[in-house]
Structure formats: structure tokens, C-alpha cells
Amino acid sequence: MKASHRVKKLLPPRTRRPYKRHAVREKKNQAKYKSIQVTPSRFPQNEPSIAKLSKNIVLATANDYRTGLGFSVIGLYRSTDGGNTWSNRLLIPPSDLIASGDGYVDYDNNKVIVSGIAFTPIGAQASVITYLSTDKGRTFSPVNIINRGVFLNAFDKPYLTIDRVPTSPFIGRAYISYTEINNQENNTSILLQHSDDGKTWSDPIVLEQAGILTGSSIAIGLRGEVYVGWTQYSGEPSFQLAVSADGGQTFGQPRIVSTITPVPSPLPVTTWGFRATTFSYLAVDQSQQNNRGRIYAVWMDSRVEGNAHILLSFSDDNGATWSEPSRVDNSNNDTQNFFPAVVTSPSTGNVKIVYYTNRISTQLIDVFKAISKDGGLTFRNERVSLQSFDPNADTFFGNPSEFIGDYIDIDFNQGSIATWMSIPENSQDIFVNIRKESTKRKESWKKKQRRKRGRK
């Protein structure tokens, strides 16, 4: 497979047709899931992250503005019944910074870590922080500043991953990648730190330092390879990848996954005013199936008639070469599809991608999930949200709203669970989708055969 960076016309994976079978399928999808509100209303919450520790225990984080002081603190939400009900609390930031956000949560058998940034109320001195739990998220340690920002240097968008790959020699190691902003024009860096116990962290290493870099993410390979992706905005914009084979101690030179066409910000919808930054996302097939070890790269891109769509590329050779980008969403070309998040099933290798879209109503937003069972070659798209929302319904960030968060999330453990921000009653709130419990008793194989014979 040769890496291809040509811009070509990308058609949706399946033509969207307004016929009855499509409507019936959507009704069936809606019947499978229910949306649960995670956070309390009144003050906004956005930028959710989620970790499904077991069938019953689920943790989520978000920017939570309930202090009423105009700035966010990382909120921690916990469910012990698979996402049906939630408790909530705020994680206390450093006393000299008092605000926090950009939270991510991940786990292994021994620990749960929440990462984020802490900053002053005016957004200065943004520092990378972590919290540690050893009791499945019931309690957390006091905040730990692992890289303190100073006046001319700040940090943004830390992304957290813990190695849970059974075949990895570095299993249990946690990694955080983030952007360093030097407050100089076109001068940013991608940094990475790691920790084996969640308490002490390595010194940051620089993966790239050139131009405008943002939106990093991390995935772990079968032998503990650390894949870090990010978006390079300067020059010819591209999805970049760096690979480590020694547990994040050293990295090779960055490689280009694909050139990208960043989406316009705000997106080209008359009433929308929120920012839309093109981030880069990664996932690895850790299953025992045919595509074991395949790396997936996912991002939003506006090469299709200037509108935002979800693209995917994959690699079967440790990120050396990549397939040509293909469309994930099957929305009409003139729609906006944005803020993707990707996960793979550790048992089947199925790829699941959630994203926002305005395919139902031009000025309103819904959440869809794309599912691939053939290694990312084709996708089935289905609606996850039960109702559309107006991004301007909450005026906390202006009217039109200038901010609805920069990302949503999805995780997989005995089934997938997605999380996003919606605005049901004039307040940005966090939601999850969970599968409804079937009230039908499953028919036995013997009864099924007898019933079939009786029809003949």
C-alpha cells in the first residue's frame, strides 16, 4: 500500500436515499438505544471524555461551568449501573490556578487517571495536570501538576491513553500528549510524557516543533508501539504520525498519514458561530481477527465541496504507508459532519466512529455512529441522538454560540458507549447512549427449528 496524498472527489460510502426502508431502519436504531443525561442542567458542560471500566462502572469527564464564575473546572461523573444513573463532582484544580478543563479519562486494572489543563481565570499559565484513583474512580488524589506553564509558554489539549494491550511489554504505562504554545507566531510543539504508576511522570520529550500543530491523540500497538498523531496546520496541512517502539522513550521522525483540507471555522452554516478545529484521531485493532494490528486514522476534512466530512485511512505496516482516504459518513455532500471519535472492539475488531452532523436538519445538530465490520472498507451509519439540538440555544458563550467544545468521545468494553454535548433545555449538557435492555425472551435454537418446520 503506497501512501497517497492526492485530493480527489470522495463519494459517500452509500448513497443516501429518502425511501421507506431508510426510515424503518432509523426507527429500529432509535428503538435500540436510549439517551441518558449525565450532568445537571443550568450551567453548561462540554468536551466530554468517557471510560467504560466494566459492564457496570463508567466514568466521564467534561468542562463544567457550574461554579457560576464564568470559567470551567473538570467535572467527574460516575455510573455503577452501566450509564443509567450518574453521580457527579468537581475535581479541585491547583489553588494558584483555580480553573481547569480539557479533561480525558482512561484506566487499567490498577488505576484510573484523569488528565487536563489548569489555568488562571483569564486563561494564562495553562499547565498539564493529572488526578489518580486506585478504587475505580470512587476517590481521587489531589491534583498533580506534571508540566507547569509559565507566562510565555502554555499547554493545550492533553490527550491521555493507558496501555491495556495484553501482548505489550509496557502494559499499564500511561501516556499524555499535548501542544505547547510559545506565544510566538506559528511556534508550537507536540510534547509527550509517560508514567508507570500515575504518580511520577517522565520529563516531556518533543515529537515535533514546527509551525502550527494541534489536536494530538495516542493509540497503542500490539507490541506496545506508541502511535501519536496530530494535525499540522502550517505549510501544506497534514495528518502527522510519530512512532515509538520503546515505550515512549524515543520516537522516529514524523510521517505523513495524509494531506488534509482543514474545515472552515466556523462551519458554513448561516446561523452557526462555534469554532471547529481539525483534530487527528487514532485507533488500533487489537483483536484476533483478520485485521489484527491495523492502525486507523480518522479526521474531519472539507475537501468535498468545502463541507466537513469524516475521513479514514488505515495502515497495516506500523504506519509506514497508508491507504487513500475514504469517506466514513454517508450524509449528503452539502452537510456538515464533524468532531469524530473512534474506537475498535478488542474482540471483533469492528470500528466505531461517532460524530456530529446536520444531516437531519440544516441548522440543528445530531449525533451519528458509523460502524465497520470489514476493517474500515465500508460503514453503516445510524442515528444515536434521540433529538436534534440548536447550538445557539445556550447563550453562555454568546449568540450565536462561539463554543460547543472541541470534541466528543466513545469507548468500548463489553459494548460501546458514546458521549456528547447536547442542549435539551437551553443548557449545554452531557449525554451518553446505552443499549436498551430487551424485554423479549430469547428463543431457543430448538424452538426456532420447530417453528420453522411448522411453517412448511
353 found inside a domain: yes
Query: Which DSSP helix (H) or strand (E) runs through 87?
Result: strand 87-90
Q: Which of 249, 108, 226 is nearest to 172 (CA)?
A: 108
17 found inside a domain: no
7 found inside a domain: no
Split into its structural domains, the chain has a count of 1
13 found inside a domain: no
Q: What is the rounded distance in angstroms from the CA atom of residue 136 to the CA atom of residue 240?
A: 34
Residue with cell 520503546: 246
Distances (CA, A) of 86 to 38, 117, 325, 341, 431: 6, 24, 39, 22, 11
Kindly state the cell numbers that stand for 100. Answer: 481547569
Kindly state the cell numbers that stand for 3. Answer: 501512501
254 found inside a domain: yes
Cβ-contact 285, 273 below 8 angstroms: no
Please tell me the predicted confidence (pLDDT) of residue 159: 98
Report whether the peptide linkage leading into residue 40 is cis, meaning its omega lies within 30 degrees of zero: no
> 110-124: string of b/e by CB count within 10 Å (b at 16+)?
ebbbbbbbbbeeeee
Please tell me the predicted confidence (pLDDT) of residue 150: 87
Please tell me the predicted confidence (pLDDT) of residue 17: 42
Q: How many CB atoms lie within 10 A of CB 26?
A: 13
Look at the alpha carbons of 424, 425, 426, 427 in this order and tell me if their dihedral is positive or negative: negative
Distances (CA, A) of 367 to 62, 181, 248: 17, 31, 34
10 found inside a domain: no
63 found inside a domain: yes
404: containing domain: 23-455
- Residue 379: give its domain's CATH number: 2.120.10.10
Q: pTM for this one? A: 0.91
Please tell me the predicted confidence (pLDDT) of residue 210: 82
Q: What is the rounded distance in angstroms from the CA atom of residue 96 to the CA atom of residue 393?
A: 34
Q: What is the rounded distance in angstroms from the CA atom of residue 137 to the CA atom of residue 113?
A: 9
Q: What is the rounded distance in angstroms from the CA atom of residue 61 to the CA atom of residue 129?
A: 14
Q: Which of 32, 31, 35, 89 is nearest to 432 (CA)?
A: 35
Residue by residue, pLDDT tens for the chain (456 residues) are: 444 444 445 656 544 443 344 444 555 555 677 999 999 888 999 999 999 999 999 999 999 999 988 999 999 999 999 999 999 999 999 999 999 999 999 999 999 999 999 999 877 889 999 999 999 999 999 999 999 998 778 899 999 999 999 999 999 999 999 999 987 667 899 999 999 999 999 999 999 998 899 999 999 999 999 999 999 999 999 999 999 999 999 999 999 999 999 999 999 999 999 999 999 999 999 999 999 999 999 999 999 999 999 999 999 999 999 999 999 999 999 999 999 999 999 999 999 999 999 999 999 999 999 999 999 999 999 999 999 999 999 999 999 999 999 999 999 999 999 999 999 989 999 999 987 654 445 556 666 666 666 655
Please tell me the predicted confidence (pLDDT) of residue 123: 74
Q: At a CB cut-off of 8 Å and minimum separation 6, what does 122 contact?
A: none
15 found inside a domain: no
Query: Which DSSP helix (H) or strand (E) runs through 280?
Result: none
Q: How many CB atoms lie within 10 A of CB 8?
A: 10
Please tell me the predicted confidence (pLDDT) of residue 31: 60
